[in-house]
């Protein structure tokens, strides 16, 4: 079969593309694709001519002008505008009320401006994203664990003696530091080893520290590294701590601020006690 040759000649095609940009996840802001259309100028009033009659002077009233009564706007209590009620509102209120220190909350399952402010402050402290005041599942889980770790019964499980002890509660996924029976740090949240890499329970000692350790097996930096057993230690998390579907390979992951504070408290020879068991390991 012989192909047929078609001569199309030479043509010019002019294509004009307008509004090619897009803003992912946002609303139109008047940029390309949302340009406002200029309004046509309003017709001007005709200029008066010499033949136009002169308007009569305005009437003058001898009565005093009336004064409208001043009405004060109604006073309203602050509203949690932009701070939605979450499905775990009452649970979070209950936990924050028990924890204290984040501002007043009312345990009624109804969002208020005060509740919102307390929840936002709590979310920022524990690295919960986004810190929008919404009482969702992550905020409820973290607040429940912190509240549980404040109880005398939970603290007693560490069995910290005299001196300095770092307590890691594997069941609650929290930790705190005790000096001579007094809690001097925490409780705060941690994330330990996941299934197949469970952080062991026991009593250990800090035996090596490095402000920035390189993990040869996993090819990642471990900030504020404090080793205590078999390649396992404390360090700042390199991922979002509250993704509990993840976990470490046995290490105790910390938020940045907590890793820094713990680095300043512990030293070689400090006792570390891990107890309980992380769910699913």
Active site residues: 235, 251
Distance CA 102, CA 114 (A): 10
Q: Of the candidates 92, 149, 86, 128, which has an alpha carbon nearest to the alpha carbon of residue 242?
A: 128
Are 234 and 224 contacting, i.e. CB atoms less than 8 angstroms apart? Answer: yes
Are 176 and 185 contacting, i.e. CB atoms less than 8 angstroms apart? Answer: yes
Distances from the Cα of 254 to the Cα of 51, 234, 262, angstroms: 89, 7, 9
Q: Is 152 exposed, middle or buried (0-12, 13-18, 19+ CB in 10 A)?
A: exposed
Q: Of the candidates 240, 249, 191, 252, which has an alpha carbon nearest to the alpha carbon of residue 217?
A: 249
Distance CA 68, CA 85 (A): 41
Distance CA 134, CA 84 (A): 5
In degrees, rounded to 5, the angle at the alpha carbon of residue 48 between the alpha carbons of residues 44 and 52 is: 145
Distance CA 214, CA 60 (A): 90
Instruction: Name the β-bridge partners of 178.
Output: 165, 183
Phi, psi of 104 (to 5 degrees): -70, 140
50 secondary structure, DSSP code: T
């Amino acid at each position: 079969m012989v192909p047929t040759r078609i001569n199309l000649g030479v043509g010019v095609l002019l294509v004009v593309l307008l509004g090619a940009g897009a803003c992912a996840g946002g609303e139109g802001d008047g940029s390309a694709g949302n340009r406002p259309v200029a309004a046509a100028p309003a017709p001007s009033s005709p200029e008066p001519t010499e033949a136009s009659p002169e308007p009569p002077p305005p009437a003058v009233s001898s009565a005093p002008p009336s004064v409208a009564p001043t009405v004060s706007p109604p006073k309203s209590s602050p509203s949690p505008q932009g701070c939605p009620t979450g499905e775990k509102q009452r649970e979070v209120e209950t936990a924050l009320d028990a924890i204290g220190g984040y501002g007043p909350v009312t345990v009624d399952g109804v969002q208020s401006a005060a509740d919102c402010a307390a929840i936002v402050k709590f979310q920022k402290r524990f690295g919960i994203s986004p810190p929008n005041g919404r009482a969702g599942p992550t905020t409820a889980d973290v607040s429940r664990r912190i509240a549980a770790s404040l109880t005398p019964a939970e603290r007693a499980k560490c069995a910290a003696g005299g001196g300095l002890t770092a307590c890691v509660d594997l069941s609650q996924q929290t930790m705190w530091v005790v000096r001579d029976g007094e809690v001097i740090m925490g409780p705060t949240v941690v994330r330990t080893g996941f299934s197949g890499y469970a952080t062991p329970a026991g009593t250990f000692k800090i035996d090596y520290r490095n402000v920035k350790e390189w993990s040869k097996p996993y090819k990642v930096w471990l900030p504020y590294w404090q080793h205590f057993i078999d390649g396992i230690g404390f360090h700042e998390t390199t991922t979002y701590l509250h993704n509990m579907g993840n976990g470490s390979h046995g290490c105790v992951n910390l938020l940045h601020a907590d890793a820094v504070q713990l680095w300043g408290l512990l030293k070689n020879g400090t006792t570390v006690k891990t107890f309980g068991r992380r769910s699913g390991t």
